[in-house]
Amino acid sequence: DEYVVAPDTRLDIPVHLDADVRDALIDSIAWTVRYQDVNLVVDSVRSGQAPDALLRAEIVPGVIRFHAARSGPRFGTPGTLGLIRALCRSAVPDSTPLTITDIQVWSQEPTEAVKNDGYVVVDACGPRNLITFKSKTRFRLAPPLPVTGSVLQIMTDAEQEDAAYVDVTDALGRVLLSVANVPVAKGQAQLTLDISTLPSGTYLVVVRSVSRGTVTAYVPIVR
């Protein structure tokens, strides 16, 4: 879901299972929600109303790791698996994506997971002053992948001038590289991210913009 709220609002953010997947005989589902902790302070995660779902959650700033397990035959019925309880804070940037990553499904029948990310805008000025953009800036990671050099190229396509924020995290969710307020030119352009300090490995790269465009991808680096 997407929200526009005032600073210091307490928000219950649901995590939904939208499809009826009981026929897949799912044993458990694991996933991660990533967000900017300058905008959200997550207090707790509560179980939702989805039947026969046993939910566990691990919270660290900017990351929530979920695991939902079968506790009865109705597991996989559409419903709310969990509620993220958070305090919304005014900051720069004034918004954060709620990005779902690392989805794993253990089931007896083949399944395909399709995610729908959320967004929270903390509007300190009030709705009359909220800037509305014509379109979200589009991002795409440029080849070659895996990356063997010292830079990562990010292609952009923007209807107007924008600004981008890039975070690179490792497998433990630690932010190893963070770049803010990178100018994005109108039209098609390219951003260059210096990754020379990162050793070989696979990293989660999250690119987002003031216009609320996002891209999330795992990027292997080979030295």
Asked if the model's pLDDT at residue 123 lies above 80, the reply is no
Asked if the model's pLDDT at residue 101 lies above 80, the reply is yes
Same fold, 2-129 and 138-221: yes
Give me the mean pLDDT over the 53-63 stretch.
Answer: 94
Domains of the chain by residue range: 2-129, 138-221
pLDDT given at position 190: 93
Q: What is the pLDDT of residues 16-45, one digit of tens each?
A: 888 888 999 999 999 999 999 988 999 999
Give me the mean pLDDT over the 118-131 stretch.
Answer: 62
- Residue of 93 and 200 predicted with greater confidence: 200
pLDDT given at position 130: 44
pLDDT given at position 209: 85
Amino acid at 53: A
The average confidence (pLDDT) of the chain is 87
**CATH code, residues 2-129:** 2.60.40.680
pLDDT given at position 42: 93
- Residue of 68 and 216 predicted with greater confidence: 68
Residue % of the chain over a pLDDT of 90: 46
Q: Residue 128: pLDDT band by 50, 70, 90 thresholds?
A: very low
pLDDT given at position 157: 92
- Residue of 159 and 71 predicted with greater confidence: 71
Asked if the model's pLDDT at residue 129 lies above 50, the reply is no
pLDDT given at position 68: 95
Give me the mean pLDDT over the 188-211 stretch.
Answer: 91
Amino acid at 19: A
Q: Residue 73: pLDDT band by 50, 70, 90 thresholds?
A: very high
**CATH code, residues 138-221:** 2.60.40.1930
